[in-house]
Amino acid sequence: MRQTLFARIDAEWSTFVDSPVVHRRFGQWQRADLDLAEFVDLDHLVRFAQTPGQPAASDDALRCLARRSKTDEVAARALLQCVLYALPQLATRFRSAAGGDADEVAALVVATAFERIRTYPVDRRPRHIAANIVLDTRQIVSRTLYRPRVAEVLADDPAILAAPATPISAGTAVIELVAEAVRAKRVDPSDARIIVLTRVYDVPADELAPEYQCLPHSLRRRRLRAEAALAAAVA
């Protein structure tokens, strides 16, 4: 049975972390950072950070990695290992949006997480580092996958309303109604996007709210108003 990308990355970790280069690099970090003194090696640090029930102590260790990750590939790889446990679930969540291609969505999730690790603002967000990286990855992947699809379904193109070859799904019906309401100028395109993302693609309001610069409950109220406008347009 072929291994998933996540399984391959996890399997490669033991070889990576045991290399002389990594041992030397970690020794340099320990001499410069007292927060690392208690760890035997980098693998010990990663296993400690993955242990539940000690968020403050884990963040102390993860900050040491996050501060170095922008310029140090060893630190970035170690931080990726720290959050790897959460990435398969993200990939499963987004598989349908990627057309069911498990390998494609796994590669996107890993690449996004690694890029976020290299750019993580540790001075501004020094706590809950692993959770923040996972959340940021989820939001970035969501925008990457959903934004083009929503732009397509809300585009001013008669082909959108063409009868599908297969029986129409509830999601497709909603998209068609929303697209028609946008064309009739009964629903604002930005509000229509909220309806489509949250109702059809199951993007949580708390994930979408930062993009609209509001709180989740405000986004839900905005969606209710937009849905009322949509209902009036349909009627």
DSSP state, 213? T
pLDDT of residue 160: 38
pLDDT of residue 57: 79
How far, in Å, CA of 15 to CA of 12, rounded? Answer: 6
* Average pLDDT in the chain: 84
pLDDT of residue 40: 95
pLDDT of residue 164: 40
pLDDT of residue 159: 39
Residue 166 has pLDDT above 50, yes or no: no
80 burial (CB, 10 Å; 0-12 / 13-18 / 19+) is: buried
- Closest Cα partner for 23 from 71, 66, 78? 78
**Mean pLDDT along residues 44-48:** 94
C-alpha pair distances (Å), 36 with each of 27, 86, 110, 121: 9, 24, 26, 20
- Closest Cα partner for 136 from 193, 68, 83, 76? 83
Tell me the per-residue pLDDT of 136-160, one tens digit each, with 9 for 90 and over.
898 788 777 766 555 555 554 443 3
Q: Other CB atoms closer than 10 Å to residue 173's CB: what's the count?
A: 11
114 burial (CB, 10 Å; 0-12 / 13-18 / 19+) is: buried
How far, in Å, CA of 192 to CA of 54, rounded? Answer: 42
- Closest Cα partner for 131 from 59, 203, 45, 78? 59
Count of helices and strands (H, E) across the chain: 12, 0
- Contact between residue 108 and residue 88 where contact means Cβ atoms under 8 Å apart: no
pLDDT > 90: percent of the chain: 44
Name residues whose C-beta falls within 8 Å of residue 54's C-beta, 6 or more positions apart in sequence.
Answer: 48
Residue 215 has pLDDT above 60, yes or no: yes
Task: Place 172 in a pLDDT band, splitting at 50, 70 and 90.
Answer: low
pLDDT of residue 189: 86
Tell me the per-residue pLDDT of 71-114, one tens digit each, with 9 for 90 and over.
999 999 999 999 999 999 989 888 766 566 788 899 999 999 99
- Closest Cα partner for 132 from 73, 77, 82, 94? 82
pLDDT of residue 88: 94
Where is average pLDDT lowest: 43-52, 129-138, 141-150, 221-230? Answer: 141-150
Residue 124 has pLDDT above 60, yes or no: yes
Residue 58 has pLDDT above 60, yes or no: yes
pTM here?
A: 0.67
- Contact between residue 187 and residue 223 where contact means Cβ atoms under 8 Å apart: no
